[in-house]
Amino acid sequence: MSIRIGAHVDQTDPIAEAQARQAPLVQFFLGDPQGYKGPEVRYAGGAAALRAAAEEAGIDLYVHAPYIVNVATTNNRIRIPSRKLLQQHVDAAAEIGAKGLIVHGGHVNKSDDPAVGFDNWRKAVEATDLKLPLLIENTAGGDNAMTRYLDRIAGVWDAIGGTEQADMVGFCLDTCHAHAGGNPLETVVEDVRAITGRIDLVHCNDSRDAFDSGADRHASLGAGHIDPDLLAAVVRDAGAPVCLETPGGPDEHADDIAWLRERV
């Protein structure tokens, strides 16, 4: 089984970054990951040029939405701009021919019923014109998170399952987040598939922290708290494209890709 493995890279020239790692896919931000300012394509020549260059080089592009996007929250001052930002990123990612837009599950406030967050996800999916797959990612921390625990992921999926665009919503499984979030990696692929029916992308990351720590801190493969055999098993079982979000640049990522290839 040949699994496509790439890495998260700088957004200025994703094609050169992919080639430096000899990777068939890359993930990057479009603009500021911590700001509400809309997406920007920093590639010389703009969106059309990036799309053409990626097609010519045979490189798959994935875009990660800004971390601040939280469509689940009951706070209007965050939810409304988050929805707007989500649509802008969907549009921009589609323009460059990306295979998917990854977005974190978000969270509700401490006193809120999680069901409100699930319903806000439904509303967000209904309100967004999904021009490419929207891949919701599991997160590591927070008791009020929408996608840390399996029962919450199930709540999100139940809520969006009845929407017209439900088939455009997929899942991105992050191994560090699953481990730090308290989900056993031995069964996580099976557990997630039982809920979502699909895993579209794997973020393969080791974890600097212990199981169920709630800490989102990635480590290079084999350098953290996750059993190397488990990491490889998740990648093998998921059978989806893989993006590393491990520390370092082309050399470190090439080492991580080689490490994973040996085991998969």
pLDDT tens series, the chain, 264 aa? 689 999 999 999 999 999 999 999 999 999 999 999 999 999 999 999 999 999 999 999 999 999 999 999 999 999 999 999 999 999 999 999 999 999 999 999 999 999 999 999 999 999 999 999 999 999 999 889 999 999 999 999 999 999 999 999 999 999 999 999 999 999 999 999 999 999 999 999 999 999 999 999 999 999 999 999 999 999 999 999 999 999 999 999 999 999 999 999
- Report whether 237 contacts 229 (CB < 8 A): no
Report the distance separating Cα 22 and Cα 78, nearest Å.
39
Q: Which range marks the domain in which residue 99 is found?
A: 5-263
The total domain count for the chain is 1
Which residues sit opposite 102 in a β-bridge?
A: 64, 135
What are 209-246's pLDDT values in tens digits?
999 999 999 999 999 999 999 999 999 999 999 999 99
- How far is residue 162's CA from residue 224's CA, in Å, rounded to a whole number? 39
CATH code for the domain of 245: 3.20.20.150
Q: What does the buried/exposed string (b/e) look like for 37-56 if buried means 16 or more CB atoms within 10 Å of the residue's CB?
A: ebbebebeeebeebbebbee
Q: How far apart are CA 236 and CA 222, in angstroms?
A: 16
149 in Cβ contact with 182 (< 8 Å): yes
Residues 6+ apart with CB under 8 A from 111: none
State the pLDDT at residue 2. 87
